[in-house]
Amino acid sequence: MFFKKTLECIGDLDGNLVDKAKKRLDSLTKPLGSLGELEKLVQQIVGISGQLFPNVHKKTVIIMCADNGVVEEGVSSCPKSVTALVTQNFLKGFTGINVFTKFVNADIVVVDIGVDKDIECDGILNRKIRRGTWNIAKGPAMTREEAVKAIETGIYIVKDLKDKGVELLGTGEMGIGNTTTSSAVSVVLTNSKPEDMVGYGSGLSFQGFKDKIEVVKKAICVNKPNENDVLDVISKVGGFDLAGLVGCFIGASAYRIPIVIDGFISATAALAAVKLEPKVKNFIISSHASAEPGSKKVMEALKLKPMLDLGMRLGEGTGAALAFNIIECALYAYKNMGTFEDANIEQYVEQI
């Protein structure tokens, strides 16, 4: 199985280079550790890239697009048709992710991995597994084989981007009903209560929100996903978009590209990838604290701290794109700030 072989290829950070990066950071004209999380971020990217002075100029956000059969249960305020419309609008340049990536000089890759419409549109990668998942409130979302195929789709896309010289990846998604499937997956993987994971999504009423919680409970009861078998969880209560993102995190780790989580859905995919192979965590960078309530639980399970907390819940990869600027700024400071030797100042020494 290709994805299992890919998991076996995932290594550790380059510890020797991480140590060298720390020495470089400590030599800069600032109090030791005074750039906080930015210093850890630099060391992580150095350890991923295998370069003491890495570049992240070529940046891409991968947007996985798919429909979810659970929309039949009324879990979204938007009709299912919105998935196909927004997927096509990504190529028109006026969606949220378009303006964010334009501002940070990044590209997008739009992937139809399961939209419930045959889209004939240049610029959209047709990697459709099927026209949407089945309704998780009635049975499994997909077969185990489809889950594997979706994961492998993400891996192949990352490999192709690596071959094209991409140095930094972000994760995004589009799919009406996908906060419901992600809630179900995250409930199982974190052993949490649905009430702690489910949010209002794209603007549900209070009654709609309560009904959504019951749908997640029902999906888990009907399917009985095995929390110790990530593929079982994804295939029973997940989505094609989420599974594709799992593959992106695995692929980025195997091909040694730093990859940025966006919000709740991509964080859930990241958690699933880490459950499959713990070393994946070394290659993941957080972006923002999504307003979706389950995001906090998932980030706690990943033991990651969001860079930003702006109350955002748009998805599409917008939070990841925002993080690109912070990552580039951290690396720029690391490369260009003067040293104590440059300033003719005695270097700070850590007090024990």
Q: With b meaning 16 or more CB within 10 Å and e meaning fewer, what string describes 64-102?
A: bbbbbbbbebebbebebebbbebbbebeeeebbbbebbe
Encoded tokens for 190:
């974190």
Neighbours of 121 (CB within 10 A): 13
Coil, strand, or helix at residue 265?
helix
β-sheet with 59-66: strand ranges across: 124-126, 107-114, 59-66, 168-174, 259-260, 284-285
Question: Using CA atoms, how far apart are residues 115 and 93, in angstroms rounded to an integer?
Answer: 20
> Residue 316 catalytic?
yes
Catalytic residue among 300, 316, 346, 350: 316
Longest dimension (CA), the chain: 71
Coil, strand, or helix at residue 109?
strand
The catalytic site residues sit at 316
